[in-house]
Structure 1
Amino acid sequence: MAEGIFIRLLGSVSARDGSRAVELGPPRRQAVLAMLAARAGTPVTLDGLVDGVWGERAPRSAVQNVHTYIAGLRRALEPERSPRAPAGLLRGVRGGYLLALDSSCVDSLVFADRVERARSLPADQALAHLEEALGLWRGPALFGLPGPFAEVEGQRLEELRLSAVEERAALLLDAGRDADALDGLEQVARAHPLRERLWELLVRAQAAGGRRAEAARSFEQARHNLAEELGVHPGQGLREALAGLRQAGDRRAPQQLPRDLRAFVGREAETAELCSLLAPPGGTSPASVVAVTGVAGAGKSALAVHVAHLLHTRFPDGRLFTNLRGATPGVRAVSPLEALGRFLRALGVAAEDVPVDLDEAIALWHSRLDGRRLLIVLDDAKDPAQVRPLLSVPAGNAVLLTSRESFSCVDDCAQVSLATLPEPEGAAMLAELVGGERVRAEPRAGRRLVELCGGLPLAIRVAAARLLDDPHAGLARHVALLEDEHSRLEELQAGDIAVRSSLMGSWSALAGSEHERDRQAAAALAALGLLDVAEMSPQVVAALMGTEVAVAERALNRLAAAHLIDRVRSGRYHLHDLVRLFAREIAPEGRREPLLRALGFYAATARAATVLRDPHRVQPAGPPVTAEPQHFADRDEACAWLVAEDPNLVAAAWQAMGEPDDEIAALGVAVTFALLWHQIDACAMADMRRLNERALVVSRRLGQDRLILECHNHLGHTANCYHRTPEAIWHYEQQLDLARRLADPFCEQRALGNMASTQHTGGLFAQALDSALAQLALARREGFAVGERFALFIAGSAYRGLGRSAEARDLLTRAFDLAVEAGDDFQVLSTGRELAELYLDLYDFDEALERLTRTHALAVALNSKKCTIACLMALATAYRRLGDPSKAHAHLTEAAALIEETGDAYHLERLHQEERAVRLDLN
């Protein structure tokens, strides 16, 4: 057995060898160690390790990966062991591996042993064993590890820990040490709301310590948890724990809350935050004002009422409620004086004694609240002005309000903003409303229905109501009705509840406002319905509206404050899917001019950004654009704009090219062409192919040979990236033919270069050399410097492919020097990497590594993911050949992440080959 090794699983996995911390490596390697440590001294089969780390989703390489992880663990655990010496600690056995450690060297095994032994010892000794066992925990067991074993073992250990916590608390209570028993018990109970034994012990400890009100609140919380989640009443132990406690509060206190929703699910984080604000631990005074804000239909009222019900024992003098009707179409909002009158009457003031002067009513309101603990729920506030007179309440009282407007401007107001429901919570809500069996019968349709409702609770409730009205129809039928965007808002209506009318109330309040800023915001929302993009910037909204950017920005900020749009980050705004459909319905009639302005802005700015990003690249000759582009301070700002706007530019181009109007469709082609170099370096080949296929259709419709030529150029590049060499060559042949028909020598030599590049990618090195030399001759004759640099680069690469290293080095060095001289950074990237790989072929590792390191840094600086991947692959090869497989593996891991992110099929096969080679070296 090993001396000095101690492995910790009760928290993040770690190991020590005496005073030395052991570096355990990545999470899956740690998961393998955890499985072996949890069964220390017992063999674990190779199949068992694979199942425990990956489960049913194990890759083909899983077995080899386990061997690799074992090799890494052996080096980490026994660093002094000779590579040829047999493993002393992590031993290979028939069909698997064994960790030769005693159970006293693994904290989870020590913990389980201490807990088991405590159960047969006298109380004082048992308590010592339990406290020692619990002291071993540093966080959730096996924290951060992937795989089924970590999940199952983590749950088993957590259950054992909770049992130990309960046994310790019970022993302390029996010994009269209620303060010690209470230490940490409330936190554990709240983390496990359905564990009745924990709540029983908590109530007992609080009651024993004289904290009777808190004991009553804990009992009520436990009762609510059990009723809502399990549909059961407290058991005998919990009921007995409450015996003898007086119920807090005056039974004559006003209780005006509406009933809690039967199907209230989710919002756990928001509920916890509201409870912590309104019922802070330790019995301190609640926050004076808490606002729940969010888009129409987000469930603000339901959440506020739910939380108010949860906290009834914290406000023994009552709970007041009123609907202020701030967003009810066609109904006058409740005035502050009216609301105060209602509340004062509820607090015992005779109707004739309620002041008719607002200041007098506020004064009486304060005097009635002084010394009390009331929760005042103000539902559907129009804006801060409507409720400000009710917000200044004496300490101990609290106001909980809901509004579609932001309350960030109100002093001492804590704001909780509701987003849409995550899919699991939305699905749980649907199941609660229509029945779990009905949703389980069609799980995919249930998830899709929640998705089509945009996670909006109101929409889910309406959809559920429609399903309940049609109990024999499947969920899939209703999903099919909601799939149609043109009728979705119509389908989300049941009785007098509808998503459309809810949104209309918010929009109408802005459109009919006396303030110009509100009316501009309403106009902006209508304009947003014209353009199908994920996010909006003030600049594109200004183009849509035909106004100044500052005006558009104020309008967007106003819409965000009204929760009709979301501010996703500085200068970027997003529409909820159902708000987008509503915006389409209210979009202005004359859509052509706004679309031309917005698409012109996109095309001009994308072109300006891509030119600033790399002025040496040949920009496609697209349709004319006269719009003014957005100004950029430098290349970094231009690159950042292209990255941020990428999905919006793609969506706008796609929408425009689907329009029957030729001028709008042509602007879609212009946006598509402006994205060329950005998409190439981002490896966004799928979007590039899809857009240019549609651009080719539009260009043929317009009868524009110049545009058709460019489309073939771009489609050839995407085919080349997918290794479809014959398809790529066909497109470049069309490009070459059109260039010659148009008598355009620049496009002709460019087509020859594209042909050469594709032939090189396809391994046709002799043909690639011929095409590259033909381009070189034409580029030199016509004086096209960029073409000369590219032709030298491809010709040198072709010579390398043919094994003619000396000629390859000469041409590549010449191409590299010309690129550096011209300041052509992207050509420096490509040529520098090719030169480095050539030196790698020649086993000149010092030169290869120096060039690769510089080229990789430049690729990262230019945000060229394509070249970054290529450099990482080459670096991995270099370090593997140098006998350093660990560094090679690190570079491959980084490359794999980028390949997965970009979907770069070009480098995927080489990645797998290099990974296999590295694994062999590691073993």
Structure 2
Amino acid sequence: MRYRVLGALELWDGGRWISLGPAKWRMLLAVLLCHANRTVPTERLMDELWGEEGRPQSAGKLLQTYVSRLRQTLGDESGEVLITDKQGYKAHGYRLAVEAAEFDAHRFEQLVEEGRRGLDRDAPEAAAERLREALGLWRGAPFQDVPPTPAVEAEATRLEECRLEAVDARIEADLRCGRHASVLGELEALTAEHPFREDLRGRQMLALYRSGRQADALAAYRDLRGALADELGVEPTPALQRLHQRILTADETLMPPERAAEGAAAGAGSGTPAAPPRAARTPRGPRQLPPASPAFTGRHGEIAVIRTLIEEHDSSGAAAADGGDGGVGGRPVVIAAIDGTGGVGKSSLVIHAAHQLADRFPDGQLYVDLHGATAGLTALDPGEVLGRFLRALGVDGSSVPSSTDEASAQFRSLAAGRRLLVILDNAASVEQVRPLLPAGPGCSALVTSREMLTTLEGATHLHLDVLPRDQAVALLERIVGAERVRAEPEEAEAITRLCGGLPLALRIAGARLAARPGRPLRTLVTKLTDVRGRLDELSFGDLAVRTSFQVSYDGFREGRRSDDLDAARAFRLLGALPGPDVSLPVATALLGLSESRTESALERLVDAQLLESPDSIRYHMHDLLRLFASERAEQEDSEAERSAAVARGLSCYLATAQQAVTLLDPLRPRPEHAVDGAVVPLGDSAGADAWLKAELRNLLAAVAYAVERPEPVARLGVRLAQSLQWFLYPRAHAQDLQSVNELAIQAARRLGDLESEAWLLDHLAGAHWLQRAYDDVRECLESALEIWRELGHHQGELRTLCNLADALCELGLHEEAIVVQKRQLTLARETGDPAAEVIGLGNLGRAHRGLGHPEEALTCFRESLEGARRTGNIHHQGFALYEMGITYMEQGKFPEGRTHLDQALPVWKRPGTYESWRGHTWSGLFPACMTLQIGPGPR
């Protein structure tokens, strides 16, 4: 049997090429050919044929039917070509036995390799013949009539890359044979299609120059250089720069051999120096790079750093050689070590960069996946890898030393005089990497690892983060199609956000969408929005976000180090704690460990890229990692342990928040209850203000989480919401204040906590006040008053009456405000509450001023100021001074108004005070200053 995939999928029936009818048959045969002579598990085949979402319940039986029909078409009723691999009585998978001569893709690769060997032997005619024969096997795009599956798409991409490399090699052979004119048209089309392929552009420049078109050759270089600068921010490779310089100086040695020889002879007779002899061609070394991902997107900065390292290394080597020091033996090898969490795209980055840099390393590129973080596989032994490298460099297998040290020394000796690029992908440790590094000054190494290999001497470290929004959307476009993404831009943004910018998650989401071209993006958005099922959705074929994370987490569960089990537990419980990040003291409370032991566990997670800590103060977990951590907690920790841990963390937030607002305003009464929780030491009001600002997002998330939980966690959320009033209201955080109080009111009602409900209604009125929704303010306050009176709670009633009077003034109901405020003053004097009396007098003054009674207003403000000074209430001293200043200005007494506002301003400039009132004070000063034509002076 013979097979063709370099175009439509076809079979040879003994007399003609035929195509399979049903699409599923073609898909099955295509997937088996992609894995020719390897077993493909039945689960994998079903995923390829139907995808996880569309797999019918009878998929197993259907697959057996398709296999049977395919065997009939192949004339293989005995099952010797399409072989069933079994586990017990059941089919575990299927394997298609294929000879190289039977399969056009295998024959193509054989011919290409023969052509390359011809180039290495400097036999360009034979090489060109073999390469033309190889390219003649192509009839169109690979698998062009097969519906897309992940395996088919990947193999088609690989074959297309191989075809392009074969075309490049054939053009090189033609150029060596002097056929520069015949390849010009082809090169023009290829460079237009692949504008950043510098090898193709170099051949185009050479062909143009040999055709007598020096100016066009130089223009081609300028075009490429401009495009590289605009798109990638880099310069052409030194090899291409040298070619440009030689064309610029009309170097005759660039001409075909016979032309160069003629030029040399002419020079001998005319006094022109003869051209130097052509250098002997170095045999072509190993080319082990995997195909670059066609969907690779962004990472321009990281690629630029890698290119710069190698370019500067090359430049320093050339400078050393020109300086006469005998070479570059003293230069260290360039080592770039790229670290990042699982699925962030480290492998794709180095493979993409390596393809761009391949022409700088003519002696070869060595690649190995070290399996440092591969599910189900142990990390490769360095000795095994060295055996692979040595055999690739031409060492006979029987001559490879069994000792790792000896093999490493032999590898360094072989690499010493060569220009090799070594890619060590997915490394487990520095110990695994060190023996695999070349020592030759012309060599470079790119290393990827989840952990930062900090002790790798001489390495430049790059940390790879998730993709920014624009690059994440661009990656989705490349996989799904730009037209489809742009038709639903909001949904595309949502997918990138729900994937957290993680390239692996985006690739999986894109593959799901590509497998269902008629399905709208919003369908996937709906599925990803379900937090409980998001990681299930981010799995397709052999890719799974959960599996990628599991490898890192399992390393801690094995407990190889003393702090590994602490790290595993910390990872799980951090996933249960609400909020975008966590500080060390709160994590210490959450885990119930000592601070030093907690810090050790967290730093282990940072090393493994399961946590991020850019400032060594706070720790952040990626959203998808948080979901995975939460899953592990539910599987491995009891409900009681999880609840107790979260309660410890929330109690720490509450106890510290209560301490902080007390430091900011020690005289203001607040309805708080003592809480038994660890307290973060704050020091003074400035420290309290800084802590509240740093933790605000976490505190808001803690309220939203806690109020939805049963007692006693719900009560912690209610109390935390009450405490946040004294930070959010003075800083005019209206939306946050409204949100937390609305949530907490529902919880208080569910708990039957009337006192908390009344306080929260009062605080919700403050949020409406900041938004000038005074009718809503009045409604909240009147509801709170009913509860206070039912409870006989005088302190709450006093505060709410004051706030209600204020709201009535804003509504222009000044007479009603006076009635309410006099009731409050009477209650304050009866209960002996001087602080409430101070506030009430200020509000009464405002009501009188609103009715046009300035003298009565000033009397109230003076009494309020005196009371505030007696009680030491700095805030209400400021309020009284401000109101007096405004009252004087309304009477046209601008100097007196300016004096009082000047005295009020320093109050609002204190840390932790009512920041929103600074603007009020300045606005009060402005008309006074304008009228008096004097400025307020420096502040």
2:822 equivalent in structure 1: 773
- Could you tell me which of 187, 191, 198 is aligned with 2:229? 191
C-alpha separation in 2, matches of 1:837 and 1:451:
49
Q: 1:654 Cα shift? A: 1.0
Among candidates 746, 751, 760, match of residue 800 of structure 2: 751
Give the structure 2 partner of residue 100 of structure 1: none
Q: Deviations over 1:607-664 (max 9, x none)?
A: 1111112112222235x522232221111111111111111111111111111x2211
Equivalent position amino acid for 2:597 in 1: V
Alpha-carbon distance in 1 for matches of 2:897, 2:250: 73
CA apart distance, 1:323: 0.4
Please state how far the C-alpha of 1:870 moved relative to its aligned partner. 2.3
Deviation at 1:270, TM superposition (A): 1.8
- List gaps (5 residues or longer) in structure 2: 1-213, 255-275, 318-331
Q: Does structure 1 retain, via aligned residues, the 8 Å contact 2:341–2:450?
A: yes
Is 1:364 aligned to 2:396, yes or no? no
Shift of 1:196: 14
Say whether 1:675 aligns with 2:714. Answer: no
Letter in 2 for 1:259: P
The one-letter amino acid paired with 1:330 is G
Query: Are the equivalent residues in 2 in contact too, given 1:566–1:575 (CA < 8 A)?
Result: yes
TM superposition shift of 1:669: 0.5
- Residues 589 and 793 of structure 1, relative CA distance in 2, 3 Å threshold: same
Query: Who is 1:815 aligned against?
Result: 864
1:662 aligns with 2:711: yes
The corresponding residue for 1:339 is 385
Query: Which of 218, 231, 245 is 1:206 aligned to?
Result: 245
SS at match of 1:486: helix
Question: Secondary structure of 2:712's match?
Answer: helix
The alpha carbon displacement at 1:882 in A equals: 5.5
CA drift at 1:455? 1.0
Q: What is the correspondence of 1:344-423 to structure 2 with a 5 Å cutoff?
A: 344-391=390-437, 393-423=439-469
Q: Which amino acid aligns with 1:610?
A: V
Query: 2:228–2:235: 8 Å Cα contact kept in structure 1?
Result: no
Q: 1:455 aligns with which of 501, 507, 510?
A: 501
C-alpha distance in 2, partners of 1:410/1:852?
Answer: 64
The equivalent position to 1:859 in structure 2, one of 899, 903, 908, is 908
CA distance in 1, matches of 2:434, 2:865: 69
The farther-off stretch of 737-746 and 297-306 is 737-746
Going from structure 1 to structure 2, the CA distance change for 1:344 and 1:759 (only over 3 Å counts) comes to same
How much has 1:881 moved relative to structure 2?
Answer: 4.7
5 Å matches for 1:161-200?
Answer: 190-193=228-231
Work out which of the residue numbers 299, 314, 329 in structure 2 matches 1:267. Answer: 299
The amino acid that maps onto 1:796 is G
1:729 CA drift (Å): 2.1
> Residue type of the partner of 1:530?
A
Q: Percent identity?
A: 35
Contact (CA 8 Å) 1:341, 1:354: kept in 2 or not?
Answer: yes
Q: Structure 2 counterpart of 1:730, which letter?
A: E
The answer to whether the aligner puts 1:574 opposite 2:654 as a matched pair is no
Q: Does 1:639 align with 2:678?
A: no
Distance 2:824 2:778 in 1: 15
Count residues with an aligned counterpart: 682
2:325 paired with 1:325? no
- The residue number in structure 2 matching 1:630 is 680
What one-letter code is carried by the residue in structure 2 that aligns with 1:464?
G
Select the residue among 646, 656, 659 that pairs with 1:595: 646
Q: Offset at 1:255?
A: 1.7
Contact 1:333 1:382 in 2 (8 A): yes
> How far apart in 2 are the matches of 1:245 and 1:730?
97
Q: CA deviation at 1:585?
A: 0.7
Q: 1:366 to 1:836 in 2, by over 3 A?
A: farther
2:482 aligned to which of 433, 436, 447: 436
CA distance in 2, matches of 1:364, 1:735: 84
- Which residue of the partner structure matches residue 279 of structure 1? 311
Residues 379-415 of structure 1 deviation map (CA, whole Å, 9 limit, x = unaligned): 0111333223334734332221111112334333221
**What letter corresponds to residue 555 of structure 2 in structure 1?**
A
Deviation at 1:318, TM superposition (A): 2.1
SS at match of 1:380: strand
After TM superposition, give the deviation of residue 717 of structure 1 in Å.
1.8
1:277 touches 1:287 (CA, 8 Å); kept in 2? no
For 2:479 and 2:845, locate their aligned partners in 1 and report how far apart those are by CA, in whole Å: 68
Q: 2:549 aligns with which of 476, 487, 503?
A: 503
CA spacing shift, 1:282–1:871, aligned 2, 3 Å: farther
Matched, 1:791 2:862: no
1:675-734, Cα deviation, whole Å (9 max, x unpaired)? 111010222222222222222222222222211221221122222223232332232223
Distance 1:202 1:344, change over 3 A: closer
Judged with a 3 Å threshold, the aligned counterparts in structure 2 of structure 1 residues 385 and 831 are, in CA distance, closer, same or farther, namely farther
1:234-253 equivalence runs, <5 A? 250-253=282-285
Give the AA of the match of 1:592: S
Q: So what's the TM-score if we normalise by structure 1?
A: 0.68
Q: Does 1:613 find its partner at 2:664?
A: yes
Report how far residue 444 of structure 1 moved.
2.0
Note closer, same or farther for the CA distance 1:535–1:833 as it changes in structure 2 (3 Å cut): farther
Please, which runs of 5 or more residues in structure 1 have no aligned partner?
1-175, 216-243, 892-923
Deviation of the 1:250 alpha carbon: 3.7
Matched, 1:308 2:354: yes
Distance 1:682 1:750, change over 3 A: same
Match of residue 109 from structure 1: none
- Counterpart for residue 572 of structure 2: 526
Provide the rounded CA distance (Å) in 1 between the counterparts of 2:557 and 2:544.
20
Q: Distance in 1 between matches of 2:302 and 2:404?
A: 34
CA displacement 1:479-525 (0-9 Å, x = unmatched): 22212111111111111110110111111112213112222111111
For 2:234 and 2:365, how far apart are their aligned partners in 1?
Answer: 28
Q: Which residue does the alignment assign to 1:62?
A: none
Q: Distance in 2 between matches of 1:365 and 1:313?
A: 22
**The one of 556, 564, 568 aligned to 2:610:** 564
* 2:702 pairs with 1:652: yes
Query: SS of the residue aligned with 1:290?
Result: strand
Q: Distance in 1 between matches of 2:787 and 2:922?
A: 38
| 1:160-213 deviation per Cα after TM superposition (whole angstroms, max 9, x unaligned) | xxxxxxxxxxxxxxxx99xx999999986643249999999978753357799x
The 1:197/1:309 distance shift into structure 2, 3 A limit, reads: closer
Counterpart-to-counterpart distance in 2, 1:205 and 1:483? 54
Match of 1:707 in 2: 756
Residue of structure 2 in register with 1:294 after alignment: 340
Structure 1 contact 430–439 (Cα < 8 Å) conserved: yes
Cα separation, partners in 2 of 1:542 and 1:201, compared to 1, 3 Å: closer
Distance 1:249 1:755 in 2: 93
Matched residue type, 1:493: S
Alpha-carbon distance in 2 for matches of 1:855, 1:183:
69
1:897-916 to structure 2, matched below 5 A, reads: none
CA distance in 2, matches of 1:775, 1:331: 75
CA distance in 2, matches of 1:245, 1:650: 76
CA distance in 1, matches of 2:621, 2:236: 44
Separation in structure 1 between the aligned mates of residue 281 and residue 826 of structure 2, nearest angstrom:
95
SS in 2 for 1:586: helix
Shift of 1:246: 9.4
The DSSP-based 3-state class of the residue aligned with 1:633 is coil
Q: Displacement of 1:847 after TM fit? A: 5.3
